[in-house]
Structure 1
Amino acid sequence: MSSRNAVIDRFLTPAHAAADSDIDQWHNESVQQTPGADAWCRLLVQPVCAHSYRARFWAYGPPAVIAAADWLCEQVERDGIEVTARIKPGDVAAALDLAASERHIGILVIDALATAASNLGR
């Protein structure tokens, strides 16, 4: 499967999309948007135990926004906030093989993660 198919697969069946009920249960969140509000990402992070987290998202924008948010939530749950916080926008773009016109999406989701981590006191 090519990376481009990974964007479509994550867009069609995101594993970390938040449910409406999540908003009342989660307190550490961050919302970031792009200029012109053509895309936004709301990232929710909840500690489970030491160095273990649950992560969910709501997003609006092209399929790559949903795919990037889903991919980043997967990284948070697998590696923790401390490791995932070192991911750069270029890492997001490379992981999903984003087109040059979509590179700003990496910045969008990384900024959402940085604010969510800050809200956790990290």
Structure 2
Amino acid sequence: MRFGKMLNSGDIILANIQFVDTSEIKKRPALVLFEESGNVIVAGITSNLKMNGIKLTKKDGAIKDSIIKLNYIFTISEVMIEKKLFALNNLKRKEVYNELLNKLNKL
């Protein structure tokens, strides 16, 4: 990992992300769900508060209020990670994983 830290579930990172609809790479925040063998599974985060997802507030550690988008999960290489921003507290992390499990159970 470029910044020399181990990643943990619940870490909020800043990563270089290439979007499907463009070849452009942008720095975006994301929530680490888990990491294995250099691959990091993340959920996207947006500052568009009209989007569906789990609210992330300044109280949680965010720079500005945001939404964790559990409908936007993807894999990135750990070399795409610029830095760790902060870690979710246990209560918020449980909220995220409970919502993710609820969504998976509906499949």
Query: What TM-score do you get using the length of structure 2 for normalisation?
Result: 0.33
Higher helix share: 1
Q: What TM-score, normalized by structure 1, do the two folds share?
A: 0.30
**Going by fraction, where is strand more abundant, 1 or 2?**
2
